[in-house]
A and B are shown apart, each in its own frame.
Chain A
Amino acid sequence: MLELRLHNTLALVGVLYREQLYLSLKATSPGLRPDKLARAVRHAKARYIALSFFVALGVLMTALSPLVVATTSEEEIALTDALRASGFLYTTMAFTMTFMLCAWSTFIAQEHGLLRPLSSLPLGQEDLRLLALLTAINNALPVAITPPIYGALVAYLAQAPLAGLAAAIYGYASTFFALAISLALAALLAKRRSGQSFRARLARALRTFIFVFCMGLFFVVSQASRFLLPLLSQMTGPLGVAARSLWFAYPFSAAEAPLLLSGSSLGQQGLMALCLAGAYLGLSYAVFSRAFTRYWHGIVAPTVVTLETARPRARLRAPSRLTMRPVLGILIKDMKLAYRDPRTAYLLFMPLFMLIMIVPTVLADEVSVLAMSTFMGMAIIMLPSGACQLLVAEGDKFWALFSSGLRKKELALGKALVSSLAYAAYALPIGLGLACLTGSWDCLAFLAASTLVAFAASATATRYLARHVGPETKMVQLTVARGLAILGIAFAFQIPFTLVSMWLGPAGAMIAALAEAGLTLLILSAR
């Protein structure tokens, strides 16, 4: 087997990057003219450099803003708070950007078998591994150049070189952690569990759960920090060391280390923080290395794991007569697909994340009409976007639906039902639970009303977007204009509903919701 030289490796990575770009442009802009597509691919290198520059600049500017404000503003802002905020922001940004950019690369590599043509070339295993690695992480490399720059700037602004060193180390640790999670999830996706047995279903459910959990992990941690930080401050007194030791946990430690090292001399705490940063860096690298090995095996030889041997069927059973309707067909199919493909599973879990946020508010105070209206407004704006995402997720499979005689209004209603039912499945039990706990039915009434309005808004938004799809559509494009139109539709439903709710309370909310939903169904069925 041939061993690649460095310049050949870089040339091959460049070719693969152009291929990635071409495939992603083809997927997202199927209507792009061939000459424009060729031009875009020809300028791949310039595009990469520009993207890298803006990503790196965006991460650094966002992360450094608290420190810049603290050191330049005339107002008294404590450097400790600024350092802590900057550290946390940087960790979050580095992690999120790396995860997203790497996920994009691995997605293209997997979906289109980017590395498969290379396996027939006379290349060594190590070369192939290196190419797979560089292809997976090349988009995230701009983030990887930020830790030394961020570290140097922290050292300069805080006048503490060791603080800068710790910040840089945590920057790399965050990057490695994000790459590790992204690669591990890509490997997880490469293995499809086939079959209908309980074991196969359980395996699929576990895979989806892990994916969604990992996707939401950082969101959950950052949200939790909002509640945890004041709580920890209260607990520091009675619990002492136990509470303080939480600062050693990543990602809180990333915010605290520069702070502990910002003093003029390296104390015991500072030394510990530095050692901890090194330990996290080692750990993150080990995790990344392991994840890459899994990814390598998954991406080169994607496997379908059948967890059972096919049993001869006695007969095929038709679905229930009640479900033999096009709208229900779309609903059932989308529920199954969204659940089985972890990349769209978040659409089913997103309402849960939203609804959890209102629980503490309702439990702390009695149901405030203003708070509920604000929350419901958010749901009414978010759910139509989710329903439209389901249309985008349809990809190039519209032919299968339209060639069977599906009408666009049926498609729109089916998609709207998916997102609305996913919301209702959490909203109604949570509303019922809160009603039992607080003794007031207002919350349940508000949530039920918001479900109806969200359905009406989703159905109208998907009907609008469905106008732009046909059997030949390769992928629906969510352009800025269409995005704004969908937002406009959502507001058109949300504003009157919110006004009536605030004016007449839960009963008014229900009446307004029933009116909006009824009117929408009437208009949609008439067209």
Chain B
Amino acid sequence: MFSERLTRPARACSLKYGRGKEARRERALNQDITARAENVCKYYGSVVALDGVSLELRRGEITGLLGPNGSGKSTLIKLLMGFMRPDHGRVVVLGQDPYDNPAVRARVGYVPEELALYEALTPKEFFDLVARIRRLRPEDYEERLSFLARSLGLWDRMDDLIGSLSRGNKQKVAIIASLLHEPELLLLDEPLTGLDPVVARITKEILYDMRDRGASVLFSTHILELAEAICDRIVILHRGRVVAEGTVEEVLELAKEKSLEEVFLEVTGKAHEVYEVVKALKGGA
């Protein structure tokens, strides 16, 4: 099967190492891994959101999570945040179960897909709230916030009510709030929606910076070019299963396709559907 050929087992244990060596290697690997999902299943009633998903996020890597609507991307991110418990399988974030140990979220940054912010607060007041909850040192916070607000172009809007900001500026507020504490793991659900090209570019640079500092970044997106451009690894989800995983080059090479878009359409079974629609459109014209 095409999708099976592309899927790489998340944790391939080699038998050539001895017991002690294997344990040492496992420890080293664990130090390198910030988050791990092992054979995770999640159901919403009779709907299967995730079906045996395994995934590892490593330090110093940006991982792109791709998939059509309803493929389980947001559910996987919420499980990694510990917002819900998997029905089957295990989730470990920074060495702990995030559902049972919510304190681990203090080391994680998160931007949700649907933004619900306090509209009657100003961005500055919202960041103050986040800083208080995260117990940041005032001087570190001040410096970090100044840098992020200037970089993302929110500096002049810091005293306006969030309710008066555009969708793009609200997105900036959420991104800055997720970066204030320099997280070790950053989980972003469609983070670049609504951002103008300049800010999107700056955000990418900030993600690179996070990666260079040794953080893991996982972000879901529909923009395939973006994933192709900035991700070290990509994971394609379809109907709650991982149908492709690896570096962009590996995925392209294994699929023997020219672009990530074609790979995406192939592994999600949408290629035929698109072909039919295009044919109908051309026929109609």
Q: State the A residues within 8 Å of B (CB).
A: 192, 194-196, 304, 306, 310, 312-313, 315-321, 323-326, 328-330, 332-333, 336-337, 340-341, 395-397, 399-407, 410, 470-472
Can you name the residue of chain A whose Cβ is closest to the Cβ of B161?
Answer: A194
CA distance A312 to B117 in the complex (A): 24
**Could you tell me if A313 and B120 are in contact, using CB atoms closer than 8 angstroms?**
no
**Any A CB within 8 A of the CB of B28:** no
Q: A310-B160, A336-B120 are in contact. Are A405 and B105 (CB under 8 A)?
A: yes
Q: A337 to B124, alpha carbons, bound, how many Å?
A: 14
B161 touches A471 (CB 8 A): no
B142 contacts partner chain A, Cβ-Cβ < 8 Å: yes
Please choose the segment from B62-70, B132-140, B223-231, B239-247 that sits at the chain A interface, where 4 or more of its residues have CB less than 8 A away.
B132-140
Residues of A near B139 (CB, < 8 A) are 318
Out of B118, B125, B132, B160, which one reaches A306, CB within 8 Å?
B160
B146, CB-defined interface residue at 8 Å: yes
Q: Are B160 and A470 in contact (CB under 8 A)?
A: no
Cβ of A36 to closest chain B Cβ, rounded Å: 13
CA distance A332 to B164 in the complex (A): 21
Q: Which 10 A-B pairs have the closest CB atoms?
A: A329-B132, A405-B106, A318-B138, A304-B164, A318-B142, A340-B120, A404-B133, A471-B83, A403-B110, A396-B116
Which residues in B have their C-beta under 8 angstroms from that of A306? 160, 164
Size band of the B side of the interface?
Answer: 35 or more
On whether the beta carbons of B142 and A316 are closer than 8 Å, the reply is: yes
User: B132 to chain A: which residues have CB within 8 Å?
Assistant: 319, 323-326, 328-329, 332
The digit string for B106-127, where 1 denotes a CB below 8 A from any CB of A, is 1010101000111011101110
Find chain B residues with CB under 8 A from A195 CB. Answer: 159-160
For residue A407, which residues in chain B have a CB less than 8 angstroms away from its CB? 102-103
Taking CB atoms, residues of chain B closer than 8 Å to A404 are: 105-106, 130, 133-134, 177
A403 and B160: CB pair below 8 A?
no
> What distance in Å separates the Cβ of A196 from its nearest Cβ neighbour in chain B?
4
B151-171 vs A, CB cutoff 8 Å, 1 = contact: the mask equals 000011111110110000000
In the assembled complex, 17 residue pairs joining A and B whose CB atoms fall closer than 8 Å, in A order, are A192-B164, A304-B163, A310-B160, A312-B155, A312-B156, A316-B146, A316-B149, A319-B131, A319-B132, A323-B132, A325-B132, A326-B133, A337-B121, A397-B116, A400-B117, A404-B106, A404-B134
Q: A192-B161, A195-B160, A316-B149 are in contact. List 16 more A-B contacts (CB 8 A).
A: A306-B160, A318-B141, A319-B132, A319-B138, A326-B132, A326-B135, A329-B129, A397-B117, A399-B83, A400-B116, A403-B108, A404-B177, A405-B103, A405-B133, A406-B133, A407-B102
Where chain A touches its partner, the secondary structure class is loop
Cα A333 to Cα B119 with chains together (Å): 12
State the Cβ distance, A35 to closest chain B Cβ, in Å.
Answer: 11
Chain B residue with Cβ nearest A327: B132
CA A396 – CA B117 in complex, angstroms?
A: 9
Chain A neighbourhood of B163, CB < 8 A: 192, 304
By beta carbon, the residue of chain A nearest B114 is A396
Nearest-neighbor residue (CB-CB) of A195 within chain B: B159
Judging by beta carbons under 8 Å apart, are B138 and A324 in contact? yes
**B105, B125, B159: the one within 8 Å of A310 (CB):** B159
Q: Which among A317, A320, A471 has the highest number of chain B CB atoms within 10 Å?
A: A471
Chain B nearest CB from A502 CB (Å) reads: 41
CB–CB B159/A196 < 8 A: yes
Give Cα A326–Cα B131 distance, bound, in whole angstroms: 8
Interface pair B105/A403, CB less than 8 Å apart: yes
